[in-house]
Amino acid sequence: MNIATQGRIYSLLFAAITLLFTGCQGKKTDDDSNVGKDSLAADSAVKKLPRPVSEPLVTHIYTADPSAHVFNGRIYIYPSHDIESNTPQDDEGGHFDMKDYHVLSMDSVGGKVTDHGVALDIKDVPWAGRQMWAPDAAYKNGKYYLYFPAKDKKDVFHIGVATSSSPTGPFKAEPNYIKGSYSIDPAVFTDTDGKSYMYFGGIWGGQLQRWTNGNYDSAGSKTDLQKDSLPAIGPRVALMSSDMLSFASPVREIKILDPEGKPLLGGDHDRRFFEAAWMHKYNGKYYFSYSTGDTHYIAYATGSSPYGPFTYQGVILNPVVGWTNHHSIVEINGRWYLFYHDSVFSKDKTHLRTVKVTELKYRPDGSIETLDAYYK
């Protein structure tokens, strides 16, 4: 039995177990103007699932993969926009067929959430073919930058960039993707010295395993399963140029080590990198967090350099309802928060997710307390 099959069985078992718990209802969003065929309204009477510790930020559209930032004292969330496209499901994520991005914002966690509408549409990205997956955003040089992955006309993932004078867009895409970029899940981190770095990559459907030699191998493996006894495929990092539109250094592979200093192996599915890179800094230490994919953890590793290596430390968030998880971590008014998604309100449909937020807490030694998305 391959890991993809195991993952699907895991999700089905998890969903079956959660039928024993009490279901819950979603809160009403402040913007019901966009209720349409992808609305949660039809799914409000959900099957019995575990009671979540956090409610969706919005329920009039499906949102996932939240990248949260504080700009000018306001919280902005840059999620992907899930839709029902009726694309057949496959192990490479073909059913995640997103076509645009919305921007959400709020004054404070738990406050009124505003959906600012479409910030960028795939039809306005000259090089893109399909599948606009998890984005991120940054501010520099008096501009806002939206970074996003999409498949080009040959079905190869690259990372594009679009700019705006407003954090809510609309964003205007550059005519081509960032030279040297590939795979998915861009996350841009600006250090205290002003230097910015992009972290990216995702195996399996994210195609990272097809770039092991620096060039795309169209006949390469669809998964990472062939080399379980070798060091796991690592995420990538590149220094950003001063204008934030290109890479200023060659792309590097990041090493994630176990506590003994040995590289995590490809077969270590509970700890190895799968997708959803995120970087933040706490008390002078670099925290690299990510999704383990088919085992459904949000894990983290720490290091003394933005380039790594990073040493595995533990789990931030236990598995959620749905197959994927993707997160961001941000400090807001002196407190830290974890933004994430799950599939409770779409009745565990893996490609129809909703974004949530919960407080993140550190122990005195700097380690992060493991969170559960549901009450026990």
Q: What is the DSSP string of 278-314?
A: EEEEETTEEEEEEE-GGG--EEEEEESSTT--EEEEE
**pLDDT above 60 for 363:** yes
pLDDT band of residue 85 (cuts 50, 70, 90) is: confident
Catalytic residue at 115?
Answer: no
pLDDT recorded at residue 152: 98
Q: At residue 348, does pLDDT exceed 90?
A: no
Residue 43 has pLDDT above 70, yes or no: no
Give strand pairing partners of 359.
337
DSSP classification of residue 255: P
Cα–Cα distance for residue pair 140/167, rounded to 1 Å: 11
Going by C-alpha positions, the residue among 220, 140, 150 that lies closest to residue 178 is 150
- Structure-model confidence comparison of residues 248 and 35, the more confident one: 248
What are the backbone dihedrals phi and psi of residue 131, each rounded to the nearest 5 degrees, phi first?
60, 85
Distance between start and end Cα atoms, the chain: 31
Residue scoring higher pLDDT (119 or 14): 119
**Which residue of the set 43, 275, 342, 348 is catalytic?**
275
Closest CA to 323 of 288, 358, 349: 349
Q: What is the mean pLDDT of residues 322-334?
A: 96
Which of 43, 65, 136, 224 is the catalytic position? Answer: 65
What average pLDDT does range 41-52 have in this prediction?
62
Q: What is the pLDDT of residue 204?
A: 94
Asked if the 3-360 domain carries CATH number 2.115.10.20, the reply is yes
247-302: per-residue pLDDT in tens? 999 999 999 999 999 999 999 999 999 999 999 999 999 999 999 999 999 999 99
Task: Please give the C-alpha separations between residue 139 and each of 110, 153, 164, 175, 258, in angstroms, as whole numbers.
Answer: 24, 29, 10, 20, 34
65 noted as active-site residue:
yes
How far is CA 213 from each of CA 21, 209, 210, 220, 224, rounded to the nearest angstrom?
48, 9, 8, 11, 15
Report the distance separating Cα 228 and Cα 264, nearest Å: 10
> Which residues in 61-91 are b (16+ Cβ under 10 Å) and which e?
bbbbbbbbbeeeeebbbbbbbbbebeeeeeb
Mean pLDDT in residue range 116-126: 98
Domain layout of the chain by residue ranges: 3-360
pTM for the whole thing? 0.88
Largest CA distance in the chain: 54
Q: How many other CB atoms sit within 10 Å of the CB of residue 307?
A: 17
Q: Is the dihedral of CA 205, 208, 209, 214 positive or negative?
A: positive
Lowest mean pLDDT among 3-7, 56-60, 210-214, 272-276: 3-7
